[in-house]
Structure 1
């Protein structure tokens, strides 16, 4: 079950980065895709999970600032809860 959640989260974050790539720019889009790829590779290399989750959380902060001009705290809080649930579910 947790593997499905990891793959789904990674695919959704990667797709969102691609859809908003014209506004995000190449470096931020690449960072989003790298975080998503790290999550997908977690199935083979478990140590990439924290890297991917932290990368996507950092990108969420940058994305909010670039796309809206400010960081939405509720959005970041939800992303933190999802990341914590994935991390806890994977390592338990």
Structure 2
């Protein structure tokens, strides 16, 4: 499992794809489109601050043969771990 703090210099979805590419020693263009796992715009909106406060939460989904977890409130972490070969692919879930 590897975790990175998202620095907000780029959209969360872009940072996530670059992080997975780095961890898997692949190019971004060789990965499947993120939208095949989760709607990138919805991911961005999920963690956009409201007019009065940041949004807090956690979402976990499968992408490029990995389990990806995004969690946080003001600061966000992106955690990527390999999927156990015996585990099943499932839909995205949020907590």
Per the TM superposition, whether the score is higher than 0.5 is no
Taking structure 1 as the reference length, the TM-score comes to 0.32
The structure in which a higher percent of residues are strand is 2
The structure in which a higher percent of residues are helix is 1
Taking structure 2 as the reference length, the TM-score comes to 0.31
